[in-house]
Amino acid sequence: MARLAALLLPLAALACACKKEPPPAGATPPVAYGATAAAADPARLPAAGEAPPPVEVGGRLAAMWTTPIQTLAGQPTTLDAYAGKALLVVNVASKCGLTPQYTALEALQKKYGPRGFTVVGFPCNQFGGQEPGTAEQIQEFCSTTYGVTFPMMEKLDVNGDGRHPIYQELVTIPDASGHSGDIRWNFEKFVIAADRATVTRFSPRTPPDDPSLIAAVEAALPR
């Protein structure tokens, strides 16, 4: 019996050591991010390449900054709330083949956010009905799957008669290929300089970790 007790004592000690204390009352439970969220590592971003020439806009987009919008949580705001920051404005969707671009968008946010930059996501359901969810469903998906920390706005239209005023301004900007006008698909991107003087437009298929886009972000940062 003594020998059995000697064998059981270390096991009992191990069980006590592994026992986790319950969280204090009222504590916020940790978020269990999906595996893809762990890939949003800024250290994995490549070095900046060569950015396409930005488009000089001067004060042409002035009305866009004060146009009322709502966050995904329903709070009123404007793009002017991000004055002094470089922006990457992007129309997003949860059920698109390009949805994994959220990973690199979040990596950009983590790397350049402290230097005066933010991604601003606008959910849109106009391309294949690939953003059908409610605001709550979109928020849950972005948070738990991709660990998104950048601001997400209300769902809106980027094309057609109901095109949101912000996109009425942005679609006038051509990309490096000369395309202007309608947004082509989910995840079309506009890098707006912190001084608001220039915009660089990228097609949906240019990923956020493309060296040319990274170069545009670095050039847009506040000086």
CATH of the domain at 127: 3.40.30.10
Cα–Cα distance for residue pair 48/212, rounded to 1 Å? 6
Query: What domain range includes position 210?
Result: 69-223
pLDDT-based confidence at 7, cuts 50/70/90?
A: very low
Specify if 22 maps to a domain: no
pLDDT surpasses 90 at 16: no
pLDDT at 17: 35
- Closest Cα to residue 51, out of 222, 220, 173, 171? 220
pLDDT surpasses 90 at 37: no
The predicted model scores a pTM of: 0.84
Structure tokens at 70: 């709502």
- Closest Cα to residue 90, out of 4, 172, 153, 40? 153
pLDDT surpasses 60 at 5: no
Residue recorded with tokens 């009123």: 76
- Closest Cα to residue 110, out of 168, 50, 161, 38? 38
* Residues 203-215: b if buried by 16+ CB within 10 A, e if exposed: ebebbbbbeebbb
> How large a percentage of the chain has pLDDT more than 90?
79
Specify if 210 maps to a domain: yes
Quick: pLDDT tens for 143-199: 999 999 999 999 999 999 999 999 999 999 999 999 999 999 999 999 999 999 999
- 8 Å CB contact between 142 and 111: no
Cα–Cα distance for residue pair 169/174, rounded to 1 Å? 11
Its sign, for the CA torsion 163, 164, 170, 176, is negative
pLDDT at 50: 97
The mean pLDDT of 83-97, rounded to a whole number, is 97
- Closest Cα to residue 131, out of 110, 165, 107, 158? 158
pLDDT at 34: 56
Specify if 169 maps to a domain: yes
Which are the catalytic amino acids?
96
State how many domains the chain has. 1
Distance of CA 156 to the CA centre of its chain: 16
Quick: pLDDT tens for 102-125: 999 999 999 999 999 999 999 999
> How large a percentage of the chain has pLDDT more than 70?
84
The mean pLDDT of 83-109, rounded to a whole number, is 97
Specify if 85 maps to a domain: yes
Cα–Cα distance for residue pair 85/73, rounded to 1 Å? 22
The mean pLDDT of 49-78, rounded to a whole number, is 96
33 or 26, higher pLDDT: 33
